């Protein structure tokens, strides 16, 4: 079933498979308010990365530790994978969605983006 809009804030960057969450959202909705951390030069140090190959291409993710996941306070595993902003845009474009960033800020964890993701018109 289709949903009018999905508000996905503070969620996708806590996943060890953020592409799965985004693909699920895109399958059910044409408009997603997407806010969260992305990998950047502002990420906390030390940074580790992981290359993941999907049907849509190969992406370089930043591996981020999920503190408190054992107690159900953050994430579902001991680490999460963060898209770079460029790879996130490329991933969304492959799936027929456009990305519009309307704001961002740097906090103690790294770069946080505020965006609207919409299905491209045919």
Residue 18: its pLDDT value, please?
95
What is residue 109's three-state secondary structure? coil
Own/partner contacts of 57-65, CB < 8 Å, gap of 24 or more, are 57/90, 57/91, 57/94, 59/19, 59/83, 59/84, 59/87, 59/90, 59/91, 60/84, 60/87, 61/18, 61/87, 64/13, 64/37
Residue 69: its pLDDT value, please?
52
Residuewise pLDDT in 10s, the chain (122 residues):
789 999 999 888 888 899 999 999 999 999 999 999 999 999 887 689 999 999 999 999 999 887 665 555 555 677 889 999 999 999 999 999 999 999 999 998 899 999 999 999 87
Residue 74: its pLDDT value, please?
55
Taking the CA of residue 61 as centre, how many other CA atoms within 13 Å lie in the half-sphere pointing to its CB? Answer: 24
What is residue 33's three-state secondary structure? strand
pTM for this model (two decimals): 0.90
């Amino acid at each position: 079933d289709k949903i009018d809009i999905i508000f996905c804030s503070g969620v996708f960057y806590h996943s060890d498979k953020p592409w799965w969450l985004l693909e699920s959202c895109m399958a059910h909705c044409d408009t997603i308010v997407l806010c969260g951390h992305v990998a950047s030069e502002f990420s906390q140090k030390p940074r580790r990365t992981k290359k993941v190959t999907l049907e849509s291409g190969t992406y370089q993710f930043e591996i981020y530790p999920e503190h408190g996941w054992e107690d159900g306070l953050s994430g579902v595993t001991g680490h999460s994978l963060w898209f770079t902003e460029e790879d996130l845009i490329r991933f969304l474009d492959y799936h027929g969605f456009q990305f519009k960033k309307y704001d961002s800020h740097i906090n103690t964890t790294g770069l946080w983006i505020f965006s609207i993701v919409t299905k491209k018109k045919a």
